[in-house]
Amino acid sequence: MAKDTSNNRTQYSESKMKLGISITPTGKELLSEMAKTTKLSRSELVERLSRGYISIKSELTNTILTLDFETKSGDANGSKNESKFPALKNIAVSQVSSAEAPPTSAEVAELNQALAEKEQNIATLQEKLTAYQKHKSTESVLKQTIAEKEYQISELQAQVKQLQDQEAHQSRSEEENQEAIAAWQQKITEQGQTIAQLQAQVNQLQQTHDVLKNTTVPKEHYEAIQAQLLEAQQQQDHQSQNQSISDQEYEALEYKLQQQYQIVESLQAQLQSVKTPHAKESQLRSQLHLQQETIQSLEEKVHRLQQVSAIGEYHLNRWRTHSF
């Protein structure tokens, strides 16, 4: 059966031409199905699609072509009476998501509002996170500072206790030193009194010596006295080698006594001038030891002189008795 093409010749003023394109079998099948549904031939369907008379709406649409024509009065749907196709001004292309239709202005506004809220929430959370991190950092610094301060306090408390112990020990030491100094001063005073007594004994012996020296004794009595004196001297300790009574010995003894008086006076002066209690005690011990040795030596000499004087007085009295 011959195909009727009379309508095609009357509908379009342009002559037809073959379209040399290749499509897939699926595309060819879909094109035939759409032509059957619209009751158009496949060429007419393509013609109307290209002229913008037919728009295909699909969920798979990802590109929209908008045709802008210089429209004139007439049938916009492409009626059979149309003699001339309006001129094409512009073709606008817009991309659409393959699974969604283009969003409306209300949807865009809603999305913008939701985005703004999300951004605000993110900013708020960021501020909270920053504040929390700052708080944690500050808390860590405070804990470290507190630990350092507690350590410093413990160190200071230990130092204070150590100073208190040292002060208490120093106070006890000063009291003990003062007591020791007072004891040494008492000993020095007693030694001074002993020296004074020895000086008096030396003076008395000196007087006895002078009497014996100035008394005229016969030769035989003098020789007897000398013999007895020699015997008494031999009975003394081996350390007392020279027991003769002489002016030099008395002068030396008196000189040493004067030195001891000077030592006592020096010690009393030094007690007032020495600054350190330990130095006072050490110096007093040394001086007192020297003084004790001198006193011991003086006592030994006085003892020997007393023995010699006693022997001399005994023989002098016997001589006086026989003479008178």
Residue pLDDT, tens place only, 127-171: 988 888 888 888 888 888 888 888 888 888 888 888 888 888 877
Q: What is the mean pLDDT of the chain?
A: 70
- Provide the strand spans (E) within the chain: 63-69, 88-95
Name the residue with higher pLDDT: 112 or 212: 112
Kindly report the number of other CB atoms within 10 A of residue 74's CB atom.
Answer: 13
Q: What are the φ/ψ torsions at residue 6 (nearest 5 degrees)?
A: -65, -40
Which has the closest alpha carbon to 201: 300, 294, 302, 297?
Answer: 302
Measured between alpha carbons, how far is 225 from 228 in angstroms, rounded to an integer?
5
Angle of helix 105-214 relative to helix 247-273, nearest 10 degrees?
A: 160
Q: Residue 281 is encoded by which pair of tokens?
A: 């005690």
Amino acid, single-letter form, for residue 247: D
177, pLDDT greater than 50: yes
Q: Which of the listed ranges 82-86, 218-222, 263-267 does the model predict with the highest average pLDDT?
A: 263-267
Distances (CA, A) of 115 to 101, 112, 183, 237, 293: 20, 5, 100, 127, 112
Which has the closest alpha carbon to 185: 291, 315, 102?
Answer: 291
What's residue 222's pLDDT?
54
Contact 60, 96 (CB under 8 A): no
pTM above 0.85, yes or no: no
Angle of helix 42-51 relative to helix 25-38, nearest 10 degrees?
A: 90
Angle of helix 277-323 relative to helix 219-234, nearest 10 degrees?
A: 140
Ramachandran region of residue 39, left (φ > 0), alpha (ψ -120 to 50) or beta?
A: left
Q: Summarize pLDDT for 243-294 with one digit per residue, the tens.
A: 444 556 556 666 766 666 666 566 555 545 544 555 555 666 676 677 777 7
307, pLDDT greater than 60: yes
Measured between alpha carbons, how far is 261 from 278 in angstroms, rounded to an integer?
24
Angle of helix 277-323 relative to helix 247-273, nearest 10 degrees?
A: 160
